[in-house]
C-alpha cells in the first residue's frame, strides 16, 4: 500500500489525532463522538437534531443514542421550540459549556503541537486546500 496516498494519510492523521484527543480527555468521562457534538454545539447551540446529525456527519440513529447518553450525563438538554412536538432542539447545559471549554483548549493545544514545525503560510495553504476538498465533497452528497 502506498503510504503517501491521500486516503491513507487523511485516515492515519485522523486516527492518530483521535487517539491523542481521547488520551487528553480521558479524565472527562466523554466517549467517542461526544467531543465532536459538544464542539459543534458550542457554535450552534439550540440546533435541531437533524441539522446536528448533518453538521457532525453522524447517522441520525447513532446520534440519538449519543444524545441519550449525553442527556443522562447532563451535558445537553433537548427541548421543543415553538410548540413543535416533532422537532427537538439540542442545547448545551452548564456542564456541557464547561466541557466545551476543556475540549476547545485541548483542540488548540493538539493543533499547536501538530503545526509547531510547519510555517504559518504552509498551514494556511493546507487549510484552504482541505476546505476546497470538503466543499467539493459536500456538493456531491
Structural domain contains residue 1: no
How many distinct structural domains can be found in the chain?
A: 1
Per-residue pLDDT of 67-97, as tens digits, reads 999 999 999 999 988 777 677 899 999 999 9
Q: List CB contacts of 131: < 8 A, sequence separation 6 or more.
A: none
- pLDDT over 80 at 57, yes or no: yes
Structural domain contains residue 52: yes
- pLDDT over 70 at 2, yes or no: no
Q: Which has more pLDDT, 83 or 65?
A: 65
Proportion of the chain above pLDDT 70, given as a percent? 97
For 27, the domain range is: 6-140
Rounded CA separation 106/21 (Å):
7
> How sure is the predictor about 119, in pLDDT bands with cuts at 50, 70 and 90?
very high
- pLDDT over 70 at 1, yes or no: no
Rounded CA separation 7/17 (Å):
15
Structural domain contains residue 67: yes
Task: Write the CA distances from 79 to 12, 51, 84, 93, 101, integer angstroms.
Answer: 38, 15, 10, 12, 23
Structural domain contains residue 93: yes
Q: Is 91 helix (H, G, I), strand (E, B) or coil?
A: strand
Residues making up the chain, counted from first to last? 141
pLDDT of residue 93: 97
Residue 7 and residue 15 in contact, taking contact as beta carbons nearer than 8 Å: no
**pTM of the predicted model as reported, rounded to 2 decimal places:** 0.84
Q: What is the CATH number of the domain that holds 90?
A: 1.10.10.10
Residue 66 and residue 47 in contact, taking contact as beta carbons nearer than 8 Å: no
Structural domain contains residue 110: yes
Structural domain contains residue 10: yes
Structural domain contains residue 54: yes
The single residue listed with the C-alpha cell 440519538 is 64
How far, in whole angstroms, is CA 11 from its chain's centroid?
16
Structural domain contains residue 63: yes
Average pLDDT, the chain: 92
User: β-pairing, 47-48 with 76-80?
Assistant: unpaired
Amino acid at each position: 500500500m502506498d503510504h503517501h496516498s491521500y486516503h491513507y494519510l487523511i485516515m492515519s492523521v485522523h486516527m492518530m489525532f483521535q487517539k491523542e484527543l481521547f488520551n487528553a480527555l480521558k479524565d472527562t468521562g466523554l466517549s467517542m463522538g461526544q467531543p465532536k457534538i459538544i464542539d459543534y454545539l458550542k457554535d450552534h447551540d439550540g440546533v435541531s437534531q437533524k441539522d446536528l446529525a448533518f453538521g457532525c456527519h453522524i447517522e441520525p440513529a447513532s446520534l440519538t443514542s449519543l444524545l441519550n447518553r449525553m442527556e443522562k450525563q447532563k451535558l445537553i438538554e433537548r427541548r421543543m421550540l415553538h410548540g413543535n412536538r416533532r422537532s427537538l432542539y439540542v442545547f448545551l447545559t452548564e456542564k456541557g459549556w464547561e466541557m466545551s471549554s476543556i475540549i476547545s483548549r485541548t483542540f488548540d493545544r493538539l493543533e499547536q503541537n501538530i503545526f509547531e514545525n510547519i510555517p504559518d503560510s504552509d498551514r494556511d495553504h493546507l487549510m484552504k486546500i482541505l476546505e476546497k476538498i470538503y466543499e467539493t465533497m459536500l456538493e456531491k452528497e
